[in-house]
């Protein structure tokens, strides 16, 4: 994800757009980022092929005592290491999402942590993926929520700031200030450029000044309002950290 050269805080809209179209791939037991959720790049993998909530065949590992198993190295740092206000893989949890959009068996689709890239303004993120490759929804087949945490000052929620403005290349987007669970925040609604599925990013400033976000792609459940889901989930984070 590119950051603007003139803005050390980064371009929040670029971040939202990029994360909203990415999913989590599981290669053996190594977690790796791949644009699986309504990708703009036609060469990217698609949900159902090593996407979040599914797994590829585990790579063989040595049974020798003391051997290092695949995935034991370079694991994403957890929330406690980063000093995060919450663990995105535990809060909000699937229970914060409407029953209609949750997996039938939540244990089959646990949240998956994603390692941020070098230029990402957030430091911890986790994917909640309930996409269904066989969905018959006319609006699309993806339901992927990315829950993230950013340190104070890295992802400001003021919609008037340049990095929070919609661009001419994203005509379907709408950015608005929003008070979420009593805290200042913003909502960015729009559509994925390729699949035209509804998207919404809900960012909120927590009590310690850091930022929590829920970024959602939702073509899977057209009868469920995308921003209402994202706002409700991030409100759960506010309550848990107050």
Q: What tens digit of pLDDT does each residue of 128-171 get?
A: 999 986 666 666 789 999 999 999 999 999 988 887 877 766 66
pTM beyond 0.75, yes or no: no
Confidence of residue 46 (pLDDT cuts 50, 70, 90): very low
pLDDT band of residue 193 (cuts 50, 70, 90) is confident
pLDDT above 90: percentage of residues in the chain: 46
Q: Which residues contact 169 (CB under 8 A, 6 or more apart)?
A: none
Q: Per residue, what are the HEC states of 120-187?
A: CCCCEEEEEECCCCCCCCCCCCCEEEEEEEECCCCCCCCCCCHHHCCCCCCCCCEEEEEEECCEEEEE
What is the per-residue pLDDT for 25?
Answer: 26
Per-residue pLDDT reduced to its tens digit, 96-131: 999 999 999 999 999 999 888 888 889 889 999 999
């Amino acid at each position: 994800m590119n950051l603007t050269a003139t803005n050390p805080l980064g371009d929040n809209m670029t971040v939202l757009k990029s994360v909203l179209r990415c999913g989590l791939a599981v290669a053996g037991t190594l977690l790796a980022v791949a644009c699986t959720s309504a990708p703009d790049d036609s060469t990217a993998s698609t949900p159902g092929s090593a996407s979040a909530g599914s797994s590829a065949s585990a790579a063989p590992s040595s049974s020798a005592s003391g051997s290092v198993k695949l995935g034991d190295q370079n694991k994403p740092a957890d929330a406690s290491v980063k000093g995060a206000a919450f663990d995105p893989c535990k809060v909000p949890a699937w229970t914060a999402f409407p029953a209609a959009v949750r997996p039938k068996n939540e244990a089959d689709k646990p949240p998956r942590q994603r390692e941020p890239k070098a230029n990402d303004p957030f430091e911890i993120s986790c994917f909640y993926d309930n996409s269904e490759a066989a969905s018959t929804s006319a609006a699309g087949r993806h339901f992927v929520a990315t829950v993230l945490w950013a340190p104070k000052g890295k992802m400001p929620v003021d919609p008037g700031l340049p990095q929070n403005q919609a661009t001419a290349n994203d005509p379907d987007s709408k950015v608005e200030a929003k008070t979420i669970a009593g805290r200042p925040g913003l909502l960015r609604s729009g559509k994925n450029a390729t699949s035209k599925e509804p998207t919404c990013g809900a960012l909120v400033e927590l009590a310690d000044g850091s930022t929590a976000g829920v970024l959602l792609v939702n073509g899977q459940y057209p009868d469920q309002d995308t921003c209402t889901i994202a706002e409700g989930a991030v409100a759960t984070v506010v309550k848990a950290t107050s």
